Amino acid sequence: MIIDEIKQMKNQVLEGQFPQWLITDPEVYKLEQERIFGTTWLFLAHESELKEPGEYITRMLADDPILLMKNSNGEIKAFLNSCSHRGTRLCTEDFGKKKAHICPYHGWSYNLDGELIGIVAGNKVYGEKMDKSEWGLRPVPRVESYQGMIFGNLDVNAISLEDYLGDMKWYFDIMLGRSDGGMEVRGIPQRWVAKANWKMTSENFAADPYHVQTTHRSAVEMKLTPSDPLYASYGHQVVLNNGHGINVITSVTGQSANRFQGMPESMWPMFEKNLTNEQLDVFSKVTNFVGGVFPNLSFLSSCSGTEGNKYNHLQFRIWRPISPDQVEIWVWYMIDKALPEEYKEKSYKGFLATFGAAGTLEQDDTENWARIVEASQGKMARDRKLSYNNVANYLMGFDNVEADPNFVGPGTAYPTCYTDHIARSMHKYWFELISAQAEVTINE
């Protein structure tokens, strides 16, 4: 059984040696869908994407299409985007505004609360006993939000979103709760399909500033980033619960030349009002926040623009697995509602130049993720017995980097971002979830 083979790898996985066959094995992938994506909180949308009653957006929760709508009371509801009659995908648009959704197949219609309100030819074909209230859209089992970020969970017994996020909330408060009015998504989320495994893409953001100086070498050559090969290592890598983690990157001095990531001074009193002294301390010094919420939500808060004239931009993204070697990437750009329009526009342009489907840095990363899956699917890489060393190396900082007790934020903070502490913590949580229900057998 595949689960027994995985369990035999426990020590290797926990000690920084991730067997390469686990990356793209199709049976492992099925277990991940069931035990990880079927039980954890997955990001769906930001509240600002639905402004008026009747507005809707369509998303994916793992493999399930989801329809999110704002009802007439201003509440956001999330349903399986599937007609209750024969299961047809109900809404095919990405976004829009409607009073009711009508199925294209036989014409059943649903209101903004997902209730079945119309059946073509109604009682004449179904008789008097047909009770419409039993045939509404199926709600997502759990939907909760934090700082405007809406998550769904397919497990009715899951712990609350807030408990799941744990200490990540402290860092979300800095990025999402610092200014009055919160954040807004600008434009619609970009999305495209890339050749990659979801674990590798999630790790790249959450746990791997080490790649920056080699993968993004062209940015150094264009003088967009410093030439010091250690420049993305300064600051702290912070391990949080449940496989989450964040890199709080600073300059070599531990400070930033642009206080509060280059946000205009007019915003500072708002930050001082909304954040604690410890949060202000971290925010005033950081150059980049980059991290992730397990399993597949990542974020980057960075700056672009010429020296001395920096514009902060914040992106959230998911890596939705669609096969062992493919992900659908979704990227949301977010900005403080309270900022002046001119700043927002410059920040948005800086984001588009670097990330998203046309961003220069994005191309660099995508190439490497494709190369990992290309080189992990052959017999030699997958052979469990060929060699003890048939593993990917996550040993950086394993026994030579100690936690820094003086870091002011929550979590276990290490005094460098060039370390694999978060990656090992992600693997540990991955292993716990995968092996948690060992009595359930899939594809024996």
Nearer Cβ to ligand FES, position 64 or 278? 64
Write down the least CB distance from residue 371 to ligand FES, Å: 43
Helix then strand then coil, in percent of the chain rounded to 5, is 35, 25, 40
Nearer Cβ to ligand FES, position 30 or 98? 98
Determine the Cα–Cα distance for residues 317 and 80; give it in Å rounded to an integer: 21
Write down the least CB distance from residue 366 to Fe ion, Å: 9
Residues 232-261 contacting Fe ion, CB under 5 A? none
Assess contact for 297 and 198: CB atoms under 8 A.
no
Nearer Cβ to Fe ion, position 140 or 286? 286
Asked whether position 47 contacts Fe ion by CB under 5 A, the answer is: no
Nearer Cβ to ligand FES, position 86 or 273? 86
Write down the least CB distance from residue 126 to ligand FES, Å: 12
Write down the least CB distance from residue 53 to ligand FES, Å: 24
Write down the least CB distance from residue 402 to Fe ion, Å: 27
Nearer Cβ to ligand FES, position 81 or 213? 81
Token pair for 26: 């199709």
Count of residues of this chain found to bind Fe ion when the rule CB under 5 A is applied: 1
Determine the Cα–Cα distance for residues 154 and 147; give it in Å rounded to an integer: 21
Nearer Cβ to ligand FES, position 91 or 290? 91
195 pairs with which residues across the strands?
326
Assess contact for 443 and 256: CB atoms under 8 A.
no
Phi-psi sector, 235: left (phi>0), alpha (psi -120 to 50), beta: left
Determine the Cα–Cα distance for residues 113 and 84; give it in Å rounded to an integer: 14
Determine the Cα–Cα distance for residues 150 and 59; give it in Å rounded to an integer: 12
365 binds, among Fe ion, ligand FES, none (CB under 5 to 8 A by kind): Fe ion
Nearer Cβ to ligand FES, position 108 or 260? 108
Nearer Cβ to ligand FES, position 106 or 384? 106
For 167, residues 6+ apart whose C-beta sits below 8 A from its C-beta are: 240, 241, 244, 409, 410, 411
85 binds, among ligand FES, Fe ion, none (CB under 5 to 8 A by kind): ligand FES
The interface mask with Fe ion, positions 321-360, x = CB under 5 A, is: ----------------------------------------
Q: Which helix (H) or strand (E) holds 265?
A: none
Q: Whose structure tokens read 């909760």?
A: 144
Determine the Cα–Cα distance for residues 438 and 441; give it in Å rounded to an integer: 7
Write down the least CB distance from residue 140 to ligand FES, Å: 19
Q: How far does the chain reach from its first CA to its final CA, in angstroms?
A: 5
Write down the least CB distance from residue 83 to ligand FES, Å: 3
Q: What is the DSSP letter of 111?
A: -
346 binds, among Fe ion, ligand FES, none (CB under 5 to 8 A by kind): none
Asked whether position 365 contacts Fe ion by CB under 5 A, the answer is: yes
- At position 125, the amino acid (one-letter code) is V
Q: Whose structure tokens read 């609360």?
A: 113
Q: Which residues bind ligand FES (CB under 6 A)?
A: 83, 85-86, 88, 103, 105-108
Write down the least CB distance from residue 87 to ligand FES, Å: 6
Nearer Cβ to ligand FES, position 88 or 215? 88
143 binds, among ligand FES, Fe ion, none (CB under 5 to 8 A by kind): none
Name the residue among 382, 389, 406 with its Cα closest to residue 28: 382
126 binds, among ligand FES, Fe ion, none (CB under 5 to 8 A by kind): none
332 pairs with which residues across the strands?
316
185 pairs with which residues across the strands?
334
Write down the least CB distance from residue 332 to Fe ion, Å: 18
Assess contact for 85 and 136: CB atoms under 8 A.
no
Residues that bind Fe ion in the complex, under the rule CB under 5 A? 365
